[in-house]
């Protein structure tokens, strides 16, 4: 059983590092922090090294203990959370690659099993929800602190308890958290609902640009680098934009292109039947059947043409 092996590795390790994917979302940050608190409670002193996160997550317990680098070159154990490929560890993959033992805990169906031990459950709506099972198996008590971080991961990765992957366990866990005194409503508001002014402005610009294709089954919009500069956008200020199109009646796939210095970042969301992960895989990306992403080089117009062609094929 993988979890027994992982626990054994944790027991044996002295220097542990926790890592997650680039451009970390709520599940990445929440899962990492939950694991961090859990390992500390278990008597370990892990390092949590994750990239710059959207400031909506500053409310989470332990957020100030995140490191952005480490002098330790060879950790005894590296644990990657919510990350589908080693490439997505980006600048931090060295800590993973150089570790004696590598563990991967994730819920992406496109996970490449890049650890020595991989605990990957694509049926879980969030990596954070997997931790509920993992920590219980390890005999680590879910404190209010750990529960809050897990909750942040679940809320963000289920779009606020609304995506199809959400399970009875999700809701039972939230009921339990509420009974423990966690202000679920406050956490929800902080990590998912509240928009920064820049995020609001980007949403407004993207809304104004929405175009429909294939009889309204595809909604398309984009944000340029100039838009971002104009509204002083920060990391995380694109949250919610791809959902604008997805939530319009009749739309099956929402396409959002965000121009970055590394190319056009494509986000796809679908409602009922299109596996958008398939479309992203064509361009070297991936994700979940209803939420996926990739990067395409070239102008926004070129990227738009390529991605719309792929998505149309899947309708």
Which of 203, 221, 267, 277 touches its own copies (CB under 8 A)? 203
Regarding 299 and contact with its own copies (CB under 8 A), the answer is no
CB of 296 to its own copies, least distance (A): 27
Regarding 169 and contact with its own copies (CB under 8 A), the answer is yes
Q: How far apart are CA 58 and CA 72, in angstroms?
A: 26
Number of residues that bind its own copies (CB under 8 A): 40
CA atoms within 13 A on the CB side of 141: 6
What's the CA dihedral at 155, 156, 162, 164 to 10 degrees?
A: -110
Regarding 221 and contact with its own copies (CB under 8 A), the answer is no
- Measured between its terminal Cα atoms, the distance across the chain in Å is 40
Which of 70, 98, 118, 167 touches its own copies (CB under 8 A)? 167
Structure tokens at 284: 């070297």
CB of 229 to its own copies, least distance (A): 19
The DSSP secondary-structure symbol of 196 reads P
Name the one range near its own copies by CB under 8 A: 102-110, 135-143, 173-181, 257-265: 173-181
**In contact, 134 and 105? CB cutoff 8 Å:** yes
**In contact, 213 and 309? CB cutoff 8 Å:** no
CB of 39 to its own copies, least distance (A): 28
**In contact, 259 and 238? CB cutoff 8 Å:** no
CB of 178 to its own copies, least distance (A): 4
Name the one range near its own copies by CB under 8 A: 64-72, 128-136, 155-163, 274-282: 155-163
Which of 168, 133, 164, 167 is CA-nearest to residue 150? 133
Regarding 137 and contact with its own copies (CB under 8 A), the answer is no
**In contact, 10 and 44? CB cutoff 8 Å:** yes
**In contact, 35 and 215? CB cutoff 8 Å:** no
Q: Which is nearer to its own copies, 2 or 121 (CB)?
A: 121
Regarding 248 and contact with its own copies (CB under 8 A), the answer is yes
Which of 120, 166, 202, 231 touches its own copies (CB under 8 A)? 166
**Would you tell me which residues interact with its own copies (CB under 8 A)?**
160-164, 166-172, 174-176, 178-179, 184-186, 188-189, 192-197, 200, 203-204, 207-208, 210, 216, 247-250, 271
């Amino acid at each position: 059983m993988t979890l027994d092996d992982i626990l054994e590795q944790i027991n044996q390790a002295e220097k542990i590092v926790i890592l997650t994917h680039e451009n970390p979302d709520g599940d990445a940050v929440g899962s990492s922090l939950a694991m961090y608190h859990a390992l500390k409670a278990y008597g370990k002193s892990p390092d949590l090294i994750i990239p710059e996160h959207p400031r909506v997550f500053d409310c989470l317990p332990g957020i100030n203990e995140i490191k952005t680098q480490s002098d330790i070159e060879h950790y005894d154990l590296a644990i990657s959370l919510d990350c589908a490929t080693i490439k997505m560890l980006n600048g931090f993959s060295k800590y993973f690659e150089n570790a004696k033992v590598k563990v991967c805990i994730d819920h992406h169906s496109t996970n490449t099993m890049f650890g020595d031990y991989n605990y990957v459950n694509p049926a879980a709506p969030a990596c954070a929800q997997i931790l509920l099972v993992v920590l219980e198996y390890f005999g680590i008590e879910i404190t209010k602190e750990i529960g809050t971080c897990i909750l942040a991961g679940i809320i963000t990765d289920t779009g606020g308890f609304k995506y199809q992957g959400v399970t009875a366990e999700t809701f039972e866990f939230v009921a339990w958290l509420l009974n423990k005194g966690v202000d679920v409503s406050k956490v929800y508001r902080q990590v998912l609902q509240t928009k920064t002014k820049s995020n609001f402005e980007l949403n407004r610009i993207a809304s104004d640009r929405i175009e429909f294709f294939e009889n309204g089954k595809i909604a398309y919009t984009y944000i340029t680098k100039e838009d971002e500069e104009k509204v002083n956008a920060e990391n995380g200020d694109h949250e919610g934009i791809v959902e604008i199109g997805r939530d319009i009646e009749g739309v099956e796939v929402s396409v959002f292109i965000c121009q970055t210095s590394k190319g056009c970042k494509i986000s796809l969301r679908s409602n009922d039947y299109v596996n958008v992960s398939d479309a992203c895989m064509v361009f070297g990306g991936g994700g979940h059947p209803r939420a996926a992403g990739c990067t395409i080089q070239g102008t926004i117009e070129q990227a738009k043409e390529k991605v719309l062609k792929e998505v149309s094929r899947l309708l």
